[in-house]
Amino acid sequence: MSRVTLRVNGEERSLELDPRTTLLDALREQLQLTGSKKGCDHGQCGACTVMVEGRRIYSCLTLAVMHDGEAVTTIEGLGRPDALHPMQAAFVKHDGYQCGYCTPGQICASVATLQEIEAGIPSHVTADLTAAPQLTAEEIRERMSGNICRCGAYSNIVEAITEVAGRPA
Amino acid sequence: MKFDTPATSNPIDQLRVVGQPVDRIDGPLKTTGTAPYAYERHDVARDQAYGYVLGAGIGKGRVAAMDTAAAKAAPGVIAVVTTLDMPRLGKGEMNTAFLFGGAEIQHYHQAIAVVVAESFEQARDAAAMIRTRYVREPGRFDLAAEAPKAQLASADSGEGSGAPQEDRTGDFEGAFAQAAVTLDETYSTPDESHAMMEPHATIAAWEGEKLTVWTSSQMIAWGRRDLAKTLGIPAENVRFDSPYIGGGFGGKLFLRADAVLAALGAKAAGRSVKLALTRPLIANNTTHRPATIQRIRIGAGRDGRITAIAHESLSGDLPEGQPETAVSQTRLLYAGANRLTALRLAVLDLPEGNSMRAPGEAPGLMALEMAMDEMAERLGMDPIDFRIVNDTQVDPEHAERPFSQRQLVQCLRIGAERFGWNRRSATPGQRREGQWLVGLGMAAGFRNNLVMKSGARVRLHGNGAVTVETDMTDIGTGSYTIIAQTAAEMMGLPLEKVTVRLGDSDFPVSSGSGGQFGGNSSTAGVYAACVKLREAVARRLGFNSAEARFEGGQVRAGNRSVPLGQAAGEAGLTAEDQMEYGDLAERYQQSTFAGHFVEVAVHAATGETRVRRMLAVCAAGRILNPKSARSQVIGAMTMGVGAALMEELAVDKRHGFFVNHDLAGYEVPVHADIPHQEVIFLDETDPISSPMKAKGVGELGICGVGAAVANAVYNATGLRVRDYPITLDKLLDRLPELA
The domain spans of chain B are 2-33+451-583, 38-138+198-285, 382-449+590-739
Q: Do A160 and A93 have their domain in common?
A: yes
Q: DSSP code of B506? A: T
For the segment B511-534, the average pLDDT, to the nearest whole number, is 97
Interface check B35 vs A, CB under 8 A: yes
Taking contacts as CB-CB distances below 8 angstroms, the residues of chain A near B635 are 98, 151-153
d(CA B568, CA B539): 11
What is the phi/psi pair of residue B485, to 5°? -60, -40
Query: Between chains, do B276 and A39 touch, taking CB under 8 Å as contact?
Result: no
What is the phi/psi pair of residue A120, to 5°? 80, 15
Work out the number of other CB atoms within 10 angstroms of the CB of residue B303: 10
Taking contacts as CB-CB distances below 8 angstroms, the residues of chain A near B244 are 99-100
The answer as to CATH 3.30.70.260 being correct for domain B38-138+198-285 is no
Q: What is the CATH number of the domain that holds A93?
A: 1.10.150.120
Nearest CA in chain A to B198: A39
User: How confident is residue B14, by pLDDT bands cut at 50, 70 and 90?
Assistant: very high
Dump pLDDT digits (tens) for B228-238: 999 999 999 99
For B197, the closest of A47, A76, A89 (CB atoms) is A47
Angle at which helices B479-491 and B518-541 cross, to 10°:
30
d(CA A130, CA B131): 56
CA distance B26 to chain A (A): 9
Interface check B462 vs A, CB under 8 A: no
Sign of the four-CA dihedral B45, B49, B50, B52:
negative
Question: Coil, strand, or helix at residue B674?
Answer: coil
CA distance B534 to chain A (A): 32
User: How confident is residue B159, by pLDDT bands cut at 50, 70 and 90?
Assistant: confident
Taking contacts as CB-CB distances below 8 angstroms, the residues of chain A near B276 are 38
Work out the number of other CB atoms within 10 angstroms of the CB of residue A112: 20
User: How confident is residue A99, by pLDDT bands cut at 50, 70 and 90?
Assistant: very high
H-helix or E-strand spanning residue B368: helix B361-379
Domain count across chain A: 2
Interface check B75 vs A, CB under 8 A: no
Query: Between chains, do B196 and A150 touch, taking CB under 8 Å as contact?
Result: yes
Work out the number of other CB atoms within 10 angstroms of the CB of residue B125: 20
B160 pLDDT above the threshold of 80 = no
* Fold classified for B2-33+451-583: Aldehyde Oxidoreductase; domain 4 (3.30.365)
Task: Check: CB of residue B187 under 8 Å from CB of residue B366.
Answer: yes
Q: Do A61 and A105 have their domain in common?
A: no
Dump pLDDT digits (tens) for A19-74: 999 999 999 999 999 999 999 999 999 999 999 999 999 999 999 999 999 999 99
- Interface mutation target, options A17, A144, A154, A159, chain B, most CBs of B under 10 Å: A154
Taking contacts as CB-CB distances below 8 angstroms, the residues of chain B near A28 are 40
CA distance A48 to chain B (A): 11
Taking contacts as CB-CB distances below 8 angstroms, the residues of chain A near B24 are 92, 95
The answer as to CATH 3.30.365.10 being correct for domain B382-449+590-739 is yes
Task: Check: CB of residue B556 under 8 Å from CB of residue B567.
Answer: no
For the segment B402-420, the average pLDDT, to the nearest whole number, is 98
In this predicted structure, what is the pLDDT of residue B468?
A: 98
What is the phi/psi pair of residue B112, to 5°? -120, -10
For B28, the closest of A92, A95, A140 (CB atoms) is A92
Dump pLDDT digits (tens) for B587-621: 999 999 999 999 999 999 999 999 999 999 999 99
For the segment B310-325, the average pLDDT, to the nearest whole number, is 97
Q: What share of chain B is helix, strand, coil (3-state, %, to 5)?
A: 30, 30, 40
**B653-672 residues touching A, CB cutoff 8 A:** 662-664, 668-672
Q: For A102-111, B485-494, B561-570, which range has the lowest pLDDT when averaged over its residues? A: B561-570
Annotated active-site residue in B312, B433, B699, B737: B699
Query: Between chains, do A142 and B672 touch, taking CB under 8 Å as contact?
Result: yes
Closest residue by Cα to residue A48 from A26, A66, A68, A70: A26
For A18, the closest of B119, B197, B676 (CB atoms) is B119
Query: Between chains, do A158 and B671 touch, taking CB under 8 Å as contact?
Result: yes
Query: Between chains, do A93 and B23 touch, taking CB under 8 Å as contact?
Result: yes
Nearest CA in chain B to A102: B197
For B639, the closest of A35, A84, A152 (CB atoms) is A152
Interface confidence (ipTM) of the complex: 0.98
In this predicted structure, what is the pLDDT of residue B739?
A: 56
First to last CA, chain A: 49
What is the phi/psi pair of residue B201, to 5°? -150, 150
Q: Do A73 and A101 have their domain in common?
A: no
B264 pLDDT above the threshold of 70 = yes
Closest residue by Cα to residue B318 from B166, B161, B139, B156: B139
Question: Coil, strand, or helix at residue A153?
Answer: coil
Query: Between chains, do A81 and B29 touch, taking CB under 8 Å as contact?
Result: yes
User: How confident is residue A168, by pLDDT bands cut at 50, 70 and 90?
Assistant: low
H-helix or E-strand spanning residue A163: helix A154-164
| Amino acid making up residue B468 | V
**B473-512 residues touching A, CB cutoff 8 A:** 475-478
Interface check B167 vs A, CB under 8 A: no
Cα-Cα-Cα-Cα torsion B622, B624, B627, B633, nearest 10 degrees, comes to -60
Average pLDDT, chain B: 97
Q: Do A94 and A56 have their domain in common?
A: no
Size of interface A-B (CB pairs under 8 A): 197
For the segment B132-149, the average pLDDT, to the nearest whole number, is 98
User: How confident is residue B156, by pLDDT bands cut at 50, 70 and 90?
Assistant: confident
Taking contacts as CB-CB distances below 8 angstroms, the residues of chain A near B477 are 98
Interface check B160 vs A, CB under 8 A: no
**B268-297 residues touching A, CB cutoff 8 A:** 276, 278-280
Q: Do A118 and A74 have their domain in common?
A: no
Taking contacts as CB-CB distances below 8 angstroms, the residues of chain A near B476 are 97-100, 151
B713 pLDDT above the threshold of 80 = yes
Q: Which domain holds residue A112?
A: 86-164
Dump pLDDT digits (tens) for B541-551: 999 988 999 99
Q: Do A9 and A67 have their domain in common?
A: yes
B569 pLDDT above the threshold of 90 = no
For A75, the closest of B33, B632, B664 (CB atoms) is B33
Query: Between chains, do B672 and A38 touch, taking CB under 8 Å as contact?
Result: no
Nearest CA in chain A to B357: A151
Is B684 considered catalytic here? no
Residue A169 lies in a domain: no
In this predicted structure, what is the pLDDT of residue A156?
A: 98
Query: Between chains, do A40 and B663 touch, taking CB under 8 Å as contact?
Result: yes
For the segment B248-260, the average pLDDT, to the nearest whole number, is 98
Angle at which helices B361-379 and B626-645 cross, to 10°:
70
Interface check B557 vs A, CB under 8 A: no
In this predicted structure, what is the pLDDT of residue B507?
A: 98
For the segment B647-651, the average pLDDT, to the nearest whole number, is 98
Query: Between chains, do B33 and A102 touch, taking CB under 8 Å as contact?
Result: no
Closest residue by Cα to residue A153 from B366, B677, B682: B677
Mapped to the 3 state alphabet, what secondary structure does B42-72 carry?
CCCCCCCEEEEEEECCCCCEEEEEEECHHHH
Q: Do A103 and A137 have their domain in common?
A: yes
In this predicted structure, what is the pLDDT of residue B623?
A: 98
d(CA A32, CA B469): 28
| Amino acid making up residue B111 | A
For the segment B192-212, the average pLDDT, to the nearest whole number, is 98
For the segment B638-646, the average pLDDT, to the nearest whole number, is 98
For A40, the closest of B475, B628, B662 (CB atoms) is B662
CB crowding B614-636: b at 16 or more within 10 Å, else e: bbbbbbbbbbbbebbbbbbbbbb
Taking contacts as CB-CB distances below 8 angstroms, the residues of chain A near B664 are 42, 44
Q: Do A10 and A62 have their domain in common?
A: yes
Interface check B244 vs A, CB under 8 A: yes
How would you classify the pairing of strands B573-581 and B2-3?
parallel
Q: How far is CA A60 from CA A46, A54, B115, in A?
A: 9, 17, 21
Q: Domain end: A78, A108, A132, which one?
A: A78
Query: Between chains, do A98 and B631 touch, taking CB under 8 Å as contact?
Result: yes
Same CATH fold, B382-449+590-739 and B2-33+451-583?
Answer: yes
Taking contacts as CB-CB distances below 8 angstroms, the residues of chain B near A93 are 23
Q: Do A90 and A160 have their domain in common?
A: yes
Taking contacts as CB-CB distances below 8 angstroms, the residues of chain B near A148 are 197, 663, 668, 670
Is the bond preceding residue B725 a cis peptide, omega within 30 degrees?
Answer: yes
Interface check B619 vs A, CB under 8 A: no
Q: DSSP code of B153? A: -
Q: Do A65 and A107 have their domain in common?
A: no
In this predicted structure, what is the pLDDT of residue B162?
A: 85
Question: Coil, strand, or helix at residue B399?
Answer: strand
Q: Do A66 and A93 have their domain in common?
A: no
For the segment B132-144, the average pLDDT, to the nearest whole number, is 98
Query: Between chains, do A97 and B674 touch, taking CB under 8 Å as contact?
Result: no
In this predicted structure, what is the pLDDT of residue A169?
A: 47
Closest residue by Cα to residue B710 from B695, B724, B700, B697: B724
For A34, the closest of B36, B121, B122 (CB atoms) is B36
Q: Do A95 and A69 have their domain in common?
A: no
Query: Between chains, do B40 and A28 touch, taking CB under 8 Å as contact?
Result: yes
Sign of the four-CA dihedral B330, B331, B335, B340:
positive
Residue B448 CA neighbour count, 13 Å, CB half:
28
Nearest CA in chain B to A35: B33
Q: What is the CATH number of the domain that holds A49?
A: 3.10.20.30
